[in-house]
Amino acid sequence: MLLSRRFSCALARAPSILRGRPLPPRAAPAVPSASRPPPRRLMSSSSSAGWQHASRPPPPPPPHPGADKDQLFRGLEAALGTTFSSEPLAPPPQPMILVISGPSGVGKDAVIKRLQEEREGMHFVVTATTRAMRPGEVDGKDYYFITKEEFLTMIERDELLEYALVYGEYKGIPKQQAEGLRIIIALARCLKEWSVYTNLKLLIHVTFGIQIRDYMAKGCDIVLRVDIQGAATLREILGESAVFIFLVAESEEALVKRLIHRKTETSDMLLVRIATAREEVRRMQNFDYVVVNAEGKLEEAVKQVESVIDAEKAKIHKRPVNI
């Protein structure tokens, strides 16, 4: 009732609202072209004849497409008294350190392999392991496959950034991924200099840091693949310098099926891994991101990891890298 009253009031006011406004252009009547008179062109003439018919002058050359935009652009520059810079407004993306971790069998290697294929400009730090090589793996690329004796020697020489005994096999990140470290150790041993020995640990950390920084200076992102224990150690070493991703299956059931399907563990080994995985999932809180690697959806998991990388790179307040 109220609405209809308002509507009729608006209608009543309409003529006075429109009064004084220019009329909208009227559509040409639909006259057949044959019966329509030729168009008349009215021209202002300086002659006393006033308005008269005139022969059509040659049309002006069409303006260069975008000429008016160029003109406007230059006009704006002139008005501001400065030229517009073509320098990028956003700071260049900063290389980052990414730690990918998660329970056994969740798909860390599978995700990293796809990342290696997909994304350029990443340096994958190679982990040393005492476990047997799996089909398709390449020594020195996927892992450094070494014996337990060799691994124990590396521990003794403090040549590992972090290491852990995972399900009876050692895994760790060798610091000597570059020759510089070997030279420092050799030098320290030759000199038999106590102060060098005492500072060796620090030196090794520094050298590893130099290697990482070298790669980062070249614009490479660093990717480290570690188990949950390793991730805890790396958090202590790297703090907020690195981004920590926890890879998880969509459910415990899916994880178990995946491990069974891999056929690389005995049933006893499977039991230990599953029990450990239950504990490990509780440590998710120490990570920055969680990525679900669901059954048959490896590509989605890789995309999510890439999204994390892209989001971190788009951060305005970048992580300070202290390594």
Ligand X SMILES: Nc1ncnc2c1ncn2[C@@H]1O[C@H](COP(=O)(O)OP(=O)(O)OP(=O)(O)O)[C@@H](O)[C@H]1O
Q: Which residues bind ligand X (CB under 6 A)?
A: 102, 104-110, 258, 262, 293, 295-298
Contact call for residues 243 and 99 (beta carbons, < 8 A): yes
Sign of CA dihedral 257, 262, 263, 267: negative
Nearer residue to ligand X within complex by CB, 262 or 313: 262
Up-side HSE of residue 135: CA atoms within 13 Å toward CB? Answer: 3
CA pair distance 139, 128, nearest whole angstrom: 10
Active-site entry in 114, 225, 235, 273: 273
Distance CA 191, CA 203 (A): 15
Residue 262 among the catalytic residues: yes
- Minimum distance from residue 221 beta carbon to ligand X (Å): 20
Q: Is 157 a catalytic residue?
A: no
Read off the tokens for 175. Answer: 């610091």
Strand, helix or coil at 173? strand
CA gyration radius for the chain? 36
Helix then strand then coil, in percent of the chain rounded to 5, is 45, 15, 40
Tell the smallest beta-carbon distance from residue 216 to ligand X (Å): 25
Three-state helix/strand/coil letters over 175-229: CCCCHHHHHHHHHHHHHCCHHHHHCHHHHHHHHHHHHHHHHHHCCCEEEEECCHH
Instruction: Identify which of residues 59 and 135 has a Cβ nearer to ligand X in the complex.
Output: 135
Give 110 or 126: the residue with its C-beta nearer to ligand X. 110
Catalytic residue, from 213, 262, 283, 319: name it. 262
Closer residue to ligand X in complex, CB, 184/269: 269
CB of 151 to ligand X, least distance (A): 16
Is position 134 annotated as part of the catalytic site?
A: yes
Tokens matching residue 117: 């294929």
Q: Which of 41, 134, 182, 189 is catalytic?
A: 134
**Which one, of 152, 142, 126, 154, lies nearest residue 211 by Cα?**
126
Give the nearer residue to ligand X in terms of CB position, either 108 or 203. 108
CA distances 182 to 150, 159, 191, 300, 323, Å, are: 16, 9, 14, 40, 19
* Of residues 205 and 262, the one with the C-beta less far from ligand X: 262
Q: Is 123 left (phi over 0), alpha (psi -120 to 50) or beta?
A: beta
Q: How far is the CB of 94 from ligand X (least distance, A)?
A: 28
- DSSP letter at 171 equals E
Q: Of 140 and 296, which CB lies nearer to ligand X in the complex structure?
A: 296
Tell which phi-psi region holds residue 239, choosing left (phi > 0), alpha (psi between -120 and 50) or beta: left
| Residues involved in catalysis | 134, 262, 273
